[in-house]
């Protein structure tokens, strides 16, 4: 199961639900928490607001994402950063 987190406002709910469905492995991809991603989030969401689009882009804390997955019984087994994304593969503990 692969989940992209940047398009969902309620990260803990999404990660927890995905973890419940993951039998053995789960991969999460999300933007890095770098300052330029947070600035881009604000610019992108302002443009979406101006154009009356309902879409929003979210930059969640990578530490909070990892902690949420861990609390759902998953542990990271592989991590890769590829600008501007992070990809983490989790395995059921």
Tens-digit pLDDT profile for residues 30-83 = 999 899 999 999 999 999 999 999 999 999 999 999 999 999 999 999 999 988
Domains and CATH numbers, the chain: 2-92 (3.40.50.150)
State pTM to two decimals: 0.88
Cβ atoms of residues 14 and 29 within 8 Å: no
pLDDT at 2: 63
Exposure b/e, 59-92, CB count within 10 A at least 16 = b: bbebeebbebbeebebeeeeeeeeeeebebebee
């Amino acid at each position: 199961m692969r989940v992209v987190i940047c398009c969902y406002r309620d990260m803990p709910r999404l990660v927890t639900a995905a973890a419940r469905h993951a039998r053995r492995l789960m991969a999460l991809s999300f933007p890095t928490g770098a300052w330029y991603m947070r600035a881009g989030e604000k610019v992108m969401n302002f443009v979406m607001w101006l154009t009356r689009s309902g879409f929003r882009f979210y930059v969640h804390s990578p530490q909070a994402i990892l902690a949420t997955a861990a609390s759902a019984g998953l542990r990271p087994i592989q991590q890769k950063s590829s600008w501007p994304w992070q990809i983490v593969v989790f395995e059921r503990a």
